[in-house]
Amino acid sequence: MSTYTSDTPDDRAAMLAAIGAKSIDDLFADIPAGVRLDRDLNLPTGKAEFEVFDHLSELADKNIHSDREISFLGAGMYDHYVPALVDSIITRSEFLTPYTPYQPEVSQGGLQVMFEYQTAIAELTGLDVSNASVYEGPSAMAAAGYLAQLENGRDKFVVSQAVNPQYRETLKTNAHGYGTEVVEVPATDGLTDPAALAEVIDADTAAVFIQNPNFFGAIEDVQALVDAAKAHDALVVCVADPLTLGVLAPPGDFGVDICVGEGQTLGNRLDFGGPSFGFFAAAKKLIRRMPGRIAGETTDVDGRRGWVLTLQTREQHIRREKATSNICTSQALNALAGVIYLSWLGRQGIVELGELMLKRTAYAREVLGAVDGVEILFDAPVFREFAIKLDAPVRGVLDQLALDGINGGYPIGLDYPEYENTILVAITEKRSKEQIDLFAKSLASAVAASKTGVGAEA
């Protein structure tokens, strides 16, 4: 213990003398004697470094993670492959250690990363501008709501219930703070109903929030939803997964004003929930209200190419009454992982990856739907995720699958009580045909066991 304690007895004596205390007991004299610990702390004796390493390894081995199981769990975070070059580059000290990587006088490389990242996100989403990232997807959607309210001065949000429940909860929490009404529109058969959405949009609606593919993995009729919002001049915020935009039309093509989402799928591992990064792209007309910061390209006095921090709407950088964002930082290292990953994939690679996931998802949907006691919940076209309904208690089935080393997916009933005994299944490029077949076989046994009460507790 003493090895890691910086202060010596002489240090402590000097500090006590400086404050006029004669001893530690004198320092704590104001604390009643009855609540003071009158003995040494009950700590084990010290261990050698290798013993501590072994102990921590034993503790770590108690965790179950996606490298030790076959994971079909998604619902917002996904088990995608991260190439080795991502870690090789982001762990370089000039990227890994800077406290404020955007300071132009010290980090042209950091600013160039932001510029390249912004360019990639703008191209993927089909929108004019991107900031340099925000904390994560849900807070990006909430920030988009605040922007919309500032832009048109209205005080009502309309959000589809096909949007990820965590995003909706974050939006509601933030909306409560600035007195905005949030109206949710039910999803029918896994999709947002354009007519139902149109019924609740009016002249007070600041923004309409949709997601594509939505929480159930279903591909929405984005144009119909955008048209319903534009009929009342409301802004449209679309949540998207950037990894799907290699095969799906970008939100900007439909007239979406703001596209936000979670960037974890781009070169960031699950890591027990984070950290990751949120992306935020918008039409050019909204650039001066965007949260976060934007890096731009320029030339120096000698005509050499360089990068600068171009725009921030935070009150620290502009007049307080004109500030539209209190976001202090970007997730620069995670966003760097994202742009490295996109560079590794390339323009053709992201298309091929998307097509691969579409094919494997279609295969999984077919074989899982053929399992006795399992049915596909919705008929809509899907990307990477789909919902299945079980003829057995969902908890018992998932526990039984876990015994086979399989994470069967996310129980949708946790957020949608009307969908009891349903699972959201995610298929990434890491899930092989053999693993999908094994999942189907194990699922058949788990459903049968759970129905009869044999095996895991139902």
Specify the higher pLDDT residue, 323 or 210.
210
Specify the higher pLDDT residue, 192 or 453.
192
- Does position 2 have pLDDT exceeding 60, yes or no? no
Residue 447 token pair: 């459903």
pLDDT of residue 156: 98
pLDDT tens digits for 65-82? 888 899 999 999 999 999
pLDDT tens digits for 205-243? 999 999 999 999 999 999 999 999 999 999 999 999 999
- Does position 458 have pLDDT exceeding 70, yes or no? no
Average pLDDT, the chain: 92
Exposure string of 363-374, with b = 16+ CB inside 10 Å and e = fewer, is ebbebbeebebb
- Does position 4 have pLDDT exceeding 80, yes or no? no
pLDDT of residue 103: 72
What are the φ and ψ backbone dihedral angles of 421, each rounded to 5 degrees?
55, 45
pLDDT of residue 40: 85
**CA Rg, the chain, in Å?**
26
pLDDT tens digits for 252-282? 999 999 999 999 999 999 988 888 999 999 9
- Does position 320 have pLDDT exceeding 80, yes or no? no
pLDDT of residue 67: 87
Looking at residues 286-308, what average pLDDT do you find?
92
CB 179 within 8 A of CB 153: no
Judged by DSSP in three states, 230 sits in helix
Specify the higher pLDDT residue, 258 or 34.
258
pLDDT of residue 447: 95
d(Cα 35, Cα 46) in Å, to the nearest integer?
27
- Look at 24-38, 199-213, 350-364 and tell me which has the smallest mean pLDDT: 24-38
Exposure string of 224-246, with b = 16+ CB inside 10 Å and e = fewer, is ebbebbeeeebbbbbbbbbbbbb
pLDDT tens digits for 396-433? 999 999 999 999 999 999 999 999 999 999 999 999 99
- Does position 121 have pLDDT exceeding 90, yes or no? yes
Q: Which helix (H) or strand (E) holds 342?
A: helix 332-369
CB 427 within 8 A of CB 361: yes
- Does position 358 have pLDDT exceeding 50, yes or no? yes
pLDDT of residue 90: 94
- Does position 86 have pLDDT exceeding 80, yes or no? yes
pLDDT of residue 37: 87
Place of tokens 């034993």: 58
- Does position 169 have pLDDT exceeding 60, yes or no? yes
Specify the higher pLDDT residue, 124 or 63.
124
- Show Cβ contacts of residue 46 under 8 Å, excluding neighbours closer than 6 positions: 1
- Does position 353 have pLDDT exceeding 50, yes or no? yes
